[in-house]
Amino acid sequence: MIWAEARGGAIGRDGDMPWHLPEDLAHFKRTTLGDPVIMGRRTWESLPERFRPLPGRANIVVTRDPGFVAEGARVAASVESALDLAGGAARVEESTEAQGPGVSGGAVEALADAGAGTEFVGAPGADGVSSRAWIMGGGQLYRAAMPLATELVVTRIELDVPDADTFAPEIGPEWRLVDPGVPATSKTGLGYRFERYLRV
C-alpha cells in the first residue's frame, strides 16, 4: 500500500488532504503509473472530475452500492474482488501499451484523497505482466486491505493535524523497514521522507 501521513498517522480531514506536497503527488504518480489502482468510493469522488479516471492506470472502485457507476473505472464489491479485477486489468493495460497509444497526464492527476495509499500485491509474474495493484485509500479500504499487503510505501510528513478525522493503519511488527528514506524539505516548506516496508 502507499499513503502519506502527517504526525500521529493523520491522512485526512473532511475528505481532503490537510497539506499540499507536490513532491508526494509526483512520487505517487511515479510509483503507481502502469499498475491498477484500487480506491474506495469516497476517494474516487474526491478526485477532481477532470482527473477521473487517473490516466495510465486501470482504476477500480470498491463500494457496497451495487448500482454505483464510476465512469472510466471498474467497480468491485470487496477488496478481494478488486484484486481479482486488477489481475486481469494489468494484462489489458500491457496489451494496450504494446499497441502504443501513449498516456499523458501531469502530477496534478495524482490528487487522490488524504494520503493517497497503495497496496503492493506481488512482483511481476513469469509472463512479465505486473501483478501489482495499489490501494490508494481511504481509511476503511486501508484497514480491509492491510492483511493482504506485502509492501507499504509511506510518505512521512512533518506536520501536526490536530483536527484530522482519517488515520493510516498501524504498521505492526510484521513489517520490516527496508528503506528509511532521506529527509527532504518541500518547496512548500514541509519536511518529508519516503519510506518502504516489506512484510516479514
pLDDT along the chain (200 residues), means of 10: 97 92 97 96 93 96 96 96 84 37 28 37 43 91 94 98 96 98 98 98
CB burial of residue 30 (10 Å; 0-12, 13-18, 19+):
exposed
User: In the chain, what's the furthest Cα-to-Cα distance?
Assistant: 49
Q: What is the pLDDT of residue 130?
A: 56
C-alpha cell of residue 45: 469522488
The C-alpha cell 501531469 sits at: 106
The C-alpha cell 490537510 sits at: 18
Q: What is the pLDDT of residue 111?
A: 38
Q: What is the pLDDT of residue 128?
A: 44
Nearest CA to 123 out of 91, 94, 150, 155 is that of 150
**Cis amide leading into 106 (omega within 30):** no
Domain boundaries, the chain: 2-98+106-199
Q: What is the pLDDT of residue 89?
A: 64
| Other Cβ atoms within 10 Å of 58 Cβ, number | 24
Specify the CATH number of the domain 2-98+106-199. 3.40.430.10
Q: What is the pLDDT of residue 88?
A: 72
C-alpha cell of residue 132: 501489482
DSSP calls for 9-36: GEEEBTTB-SS--HHHHHHHHHHHTTS-
